[in-house]
Amino acid sequence: MNYKLLVISLFFGWMFFLTSSCAQAQGVEALKGKKVLYVYGGWDGHQPKECRDIFVPWLKASGAEVFVYDNLSCYKDSTLMKKIDLIIQAWTQGTISQEEEKGLLETVKRGVGIAGWHGGIGDSFRTNVEFQFMVGGQWVAHPGGVIPYVVNVTDKKDPVTKGLKDFKMKSEQYYMHVDPNVKVLATTTFSGEHGFWIKGAVVPVVWKKMYGKGRVFYSSLGHVAKDFEVPEALEIMKRGICWAALSLELSPKN
């Protein structure tokens, strides 16, 4: 095999690997027939509409029935919340009413999965500590703004990160306060260039956890839609969504 054919073979092999997200994570049927509530809004700087246009078509193509809302009032709709299998939220720097928060938290606690990225659940409601308890962490800083950094895949066996190697990002490197009870799948190390006192700090980037009986998946990647052009960032998010989608079906221990 000559060099050109080798390159082509490797390319298509990698593309096949990336497009089989659910198969890699939890089985190809992970999203088929699932009812997914997709909630987006909040601060426009995180491009919630553009991210919606990445994930909603993929969810539908994977066989999910998707309910899309650009407001938080859906969390008060008890009929809707009782029939969904998964919540995906992309809502940064917002406020949520007591009734809306109660509807969301009770739904996850009884077993519905939730998944999100970056500020979409990692910096949604800064005064709502029970919501942060559910997520497992809260953004506090991104020293230097948009900078190059490395994501280290630390769990090589978990279905969400299996087969993935360390990779580079040029985006916001999230410094987060994190629940020690989360299962960390990937981390990043701060160089100290933009804050000497945090040099060498290792902060989780990707994790999974439980809240009651509900599966919770989080990735701090995805400051803007373009960040998902990094294949690993998109793959991790898709696999995490597939994992969370099976929350009602599988034991909380799985």
Residue 131 sits in a domain of what CATH number?
3.40.50
pLDDT lower than 50: segments of the chain: 1, 3-21, 23-25, 27-28, 254
CA-based nearest residue to 246, from 110, 90, 112, 52: 112
Whether 201 is covered by a domain: the verdict is no
Please state, in angstroms and rounded to a whole number, the distance separating the CA atoms of residues 229 and 70: 24
Whether 181 is covered by a domain: the verdict is no
Number of domains in the chain: 1
Q: What is the pLDDT of residue 29?
A: 79
Whether 174 is covered by a domain: the verdict is no
Whether 83 is covered by a domain: the verdict is yes
Q: What is the pLDDT of residue 254?
A: 44
Q: What is the pLDDT of residue 252?
A: 54
CA 82 → CA 86, 90, 173, 203, distances in Å? 11, 21, 36, 35
Q: Over the stretch 132-189, which tens digit does the pLDDT of each residue have?
A: 999 999 999 999 999 999 999 999 999 999 999 999 999 999 999 999 999 999 999 9
Whether 202 is covered by a domain: the verdict is no
Whether 124 is covered by a domain: the verdict is yes
Domain that holds residue 61: 3-138+210-245
**pTM of this prediction?**
0.90
Instruction: Work out the number of other CB atoms within 10 angstroms of the CB of residue 202.
Output: 12
In this structure, what token pair is assigned to residue 3? 């060099």
DSSP secondary structure string for all residues of 130-190: HHHHHHTEEEEE-TTSEEEEEEEE--SSSTTTTT---EEEEEE--EEEE-TTSEEEEEEE-
In this structure, what token pair is assigned to residue 42? 């909040």
Whether 29 is covered by a domain: the verdict is yes
CA triple 23-25-31, angle to 5 deg: 65
Ramachandran angles phi, psi of 114, nearest 5°: -140, 140
Whether 192 is covered by a domain: the verdict is no
